């Protein structure tokens, strides 16, 4: 399948909305409601879903359960790829303990930090390692995704190291801009940019 990032983003938001509807035991949802939840037009949402070759739009709308099931199948969200966190400051350790009972496609299986002191003080169910064990651990555990929570100055170097040892995706929580080859899946969770977006919305309605 070859879909734009915008489509993929809308689809994953739809999935999250269906998940919330299922918790509330809602049976059916219209494409209009989905479009409002996601912030796109009715038409776009139906097109996005049909691009995944999913049908099932009835008079009552989509069945919440079966649309959610089909999306999970298509996006392989039930499959748990392996992820690691690099940088175990407060943010990194917070993410180690993130409530992960959801189908989100990943399982965090390791944490890394360069400070042995910090590693000794961390209490978590997830195994933690020093940076010198990065290569071995990532290869042995077949880890696909690196979640980067190191300080700005170390971010690019850590990303380069992760890519060198075979990681396929990077989720960057540092405010640094990281440059990666096109073959690497990359996403920024940029707090600074989020604040700027909100600040701009105060001015631009």
**Residues in the site for a copy of itself, rule: CB under 8 A?**
1-3, 5, 8-9, 11-13, 15-17, 20, 39, 74-77, 79, 81, 83, 89-91, 93-95, 97-99, 102, 104-106, 144-145, 151-152, 168-169, 171, 175, 177, 185, 187, 189-205
CB of 105 to a copy of itself, least distance (A): 3
DSSP character at residue 78: S
- CA atoms of 105 and 149, how far apart (whole Å): 20
CB 116 within 8 A of CB 141: no
Handedness of CA 52, 56, 59, 65 (dihedral sign): negative
CB of 103 to a copy of itself, least distance (A): 8
DSSP for 71-92, written as a single string: HHHHHT-SS-EEEEEE--SHHH
CB of 156 to a copy of itself, least distance (A): 11
Identify which of residues 27 and 136 has a Cβ nearer to a copy of itself in the complex. 27
- CA atoms of 93 and 101, how far apart (whole Å): 17
CB of 187 to a copy of itself, least distance (A): 6
- CA atoms of 109 and 17, how far apart (whole Å): 27
CB of 38 to a copy of itself, least distance (A): 11
- Look-up: residue for tokens 């049908």? 55
Identify which of residues 136 and 151 has a Cβ nearer to a copy of itself in the complex. 151
Identify which of residues 118 and 168 has a Cβ nearer to a copy of itself in the complex. 168
- CA atoms of 15 and 21, how far apart (whole Å): 10
Identify which of residues 16 and 47 has a Cβ nearer to a copy of itself in the complex. 16
């Amino acid at each position: 399948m070859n879909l734009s990032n915008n489509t993929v983003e809308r689809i994953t938001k739809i999935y999250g909305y269906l998940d919330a509807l299922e918790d509330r035991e809602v049976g059916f949802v219209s494409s209009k409601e989905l479009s409002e939840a996601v912030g796109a037009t009715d038409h776009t949402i139906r097109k996005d879903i049909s691009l995944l070759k999913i049908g099932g739009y009835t008079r009552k709308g989509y069945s919440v359960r079966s649309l959610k099931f089909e999306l999970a199948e298509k996006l392989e969200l039930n499959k748990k790829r392996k992820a690691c966190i690099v940088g175990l400051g407060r943010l990194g350790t917070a993410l180690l303990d993130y409530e992960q009972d959801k189908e989100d496609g990943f399982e965090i299986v390791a944490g890394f930090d360069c400070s042995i002191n910090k590693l000794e003080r961390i209490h978590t169910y997830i195994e933690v390692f020093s940076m010198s064990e990065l290569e071995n651990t990532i290869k042995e555990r077949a880890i696909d995704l690196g979640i980067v929570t190191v300080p700005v100055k170390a971010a690019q170097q850590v990303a380069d190291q992760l890519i060198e040892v075979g990681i396929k995706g990077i989720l960057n929580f540092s405010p640094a801009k990281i440059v990666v080859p096109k073959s690497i899946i990359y996403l920024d969770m940029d707090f600074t940019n989020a604040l700027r977006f909100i600040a701009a919305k105060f001015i631009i309605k």
